[in-house]
């Protein structure tokens, strides 16, 4: 085994120890079962494992510049081979759904904080009152895995910056993070399609992008609220029970 593969395996072991129980695919399945979305959007589909969770009568849309599909779909599914930026500049959800609305979205494309914010802003324009966005990789394993640009195969990027950013700039949103492996899954709701991005918010994106690992190591307890990696905990959050949050 090469040193890189050995390090990857060790980080997987660390992740499994930190986050026992089902992985994020199971949490996504819980969301599908609970929300029964009519329209599902996924940014970053890779080999289709998570997109394949969509089942009838859901209509699914996957966006990825380089998908590597290994799965067959269980329901009507559209795959668009382009970046999310290209998609939202050239298309509307109604091109695939017939309506400009999604019920559930999963963001797992670029692992750069700035792009994740851009994807959420783009999706929010199509949100309904009950829409939920799930964002992967919001609890990093260590400094190396959390670098903005990948230098190792186990890479979560600096997506973790999304949480303190939302706390400062979008207090109108409700969000929590499920302690699921390998690197957390943040759920966001109370989205507003008419939300306007202010100049201060745009400036904050640049400021938060400059945060270092030291900020996370020292202050994660101040901004990272989590819920257990249990179906019941996720369902309680979806039904407005806010009394089961803890720090990491």
Strand duo 225-227 + 185-189: pairing: unpaired
Is the per-residue pLDDT at 42 higher than 80?
yes
Average pLDDT over residues 24-44: 98
Residue 149 sits in a domain whose CATH number is 3.40.50.150
**How much is the mean pLDDT over the chain?**
92
Give 7-38 as a DSSP string: HHHHHHHHHHHHS-S-BHHHHHHHHHHHH--S
Is the pLDDT reported for residue 243 higher than 50?
no
Average pLDDT on 215-219 reads: 96
- Token pair of 144, please? 């190396």
Structural domain span for residue 161: 3-247
Cα–Cα distance measured from residue 220 to residue 247, given in angstroms and rounded to the nearest whole number: 8
Whole-model pTM: value is 0.94
Measure the CA–CA gap between 161 and 219, rounded to whole angstroms. Answer: 11
Question: Total structural domains in the chain?
Answer: 1
- The strand order across the sheet containing 77-80 reads 77-80, 59-63, 39-43, 102-107, 127-136, 185-189, 174-178, 225-227, 246-247
Structure confidence by residue, pLDDT tens digits, 19-33: 999 999 999 999 999
Secondary-structure breakdown of the chain: helix, strand, coil percentages, each rounded to the nearest 5: 40, 20, 45
For 31-59, what is the mean pLDDT?
A: 97
Q: Where are the beta strands (DSSP E) in 110-166?
A: 127-136
Instruction: Output Rg (C-alpha) for the chain, integer angstroms.
Output: 17
Band (76; pLDDT cuts 50, 70, 90): very high
pLDDT of residue 174: 97
């Amino acid at each position: 085994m090469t040193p890189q593969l050995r390090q990857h395996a060790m980080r997987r072991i660390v992740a499994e120890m930190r986050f026992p129980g089902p992985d994020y695919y199971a949490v996504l399945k819980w969301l599908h079962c609970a929300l029964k979305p009519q329209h599902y959007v996924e940014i970053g589909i890779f080999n289709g494992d998570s997109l394949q969770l969509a089942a009838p009568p859901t209509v699914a849309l996957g966006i990825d510049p380089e998908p590597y599909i290994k799965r067959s779909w269980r329901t009507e599914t559209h795959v668009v081979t382009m970046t999310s930026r290209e998609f939202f500049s050239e298309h509307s959800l109604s091109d695939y759904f017939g309506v400009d609305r999604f019920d559930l979205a999963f963001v797992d494309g670029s692992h750069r904080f700035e792009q994740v914010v851009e994807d959420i802003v783009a999706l929010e324009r199509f949100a309904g009152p009950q829409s939920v966005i799930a964002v992967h990789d919001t609890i990093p394993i260590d400094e190396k895995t959390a670098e903005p640009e990948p230098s190792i195969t186990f890479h979560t990027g600096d997506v973790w910056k999304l949480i303190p950013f939302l706390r400062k700039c979008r207090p109108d949103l409700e969000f929590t993070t499920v302690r699921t492996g390998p690197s957390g899954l943040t759920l966001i709701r109370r989205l507003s399609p008419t939300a306007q991005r202010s100049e201060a918010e745009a400036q904050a994106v640049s400021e938060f992008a400059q945060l270092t690992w030291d900020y996370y190591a020292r202050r994660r307890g101040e901004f990272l609220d989590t819920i257990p990696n249990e179906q019941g905990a996720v369902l309680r959050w979806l039904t407005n029970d806010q009394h089961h949050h803890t720090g990491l």
